[in-house]
């Protein structure tokens, strides 16, 4: 019937494999600032953005997620200066 033909056509258009990509999350428990190169960084917001991405990947049933870059910013070495710890 038409429904099985339609179903077969949908299967043909499904991706074989799906993956998500995150790049340079750059979390740090410090006030917002700038990267070493001068680009604005929203350090604490990184966790919220990563969570939003994770929810999206789950909703889309992404099979694999790859992170390209740093998860924790190099400025975490200054975390005690701001009264925090990396576990915040």
Instruction: Dump pLDDT digits (tens) for 73-84.
Output: 676 666 666 565
Asked if the model's pLDDT at residue 1 lies above 60, the reply is: no
Picking from 64, 66, 61, 53, the residue whose alpha carbon sits closest to that of residue 14 is 61
Q: How do residues 14-73 score in pLDDT, each as one tens digit? A: 889 999 999 888 888 888 888 778 888 888 898 899 999 999 999 999 999 998 987 766
- pLDDT above 90: percentage of residues in the chain: 30
Global pTM reads 0.65
Q: What is the pLDDT of residue 88?
A: 46
Contact between residue 22 and residue 65 where contact means Cβ atoms under 8 Å apart = yes
The C-alpha atoms of residue 72 and residue 29 are separated, in whole angstroms, by 9
Report the chain's mean pLDDT, rounded to a whole number: 80
């Amino acid at each position: 019937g038409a429904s099985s033909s339609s179903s077969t056509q949908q299967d043909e258009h499904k991706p074989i494999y799906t993956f998500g990509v995150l790049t340079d999350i750059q979390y740090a428990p410090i006030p917002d600032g700038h990267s070493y190169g001068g680009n604005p960084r929203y350090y604490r917001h990184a966790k919220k953005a990563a969570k939003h991405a994770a929810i999206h990947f789950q909703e889309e049933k992404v099979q694999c997620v790859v992170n390209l870059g740093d998860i924790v910013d190099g400025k975490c070495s200054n975390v005690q200066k701001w009264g925090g710890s990396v576990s915040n």
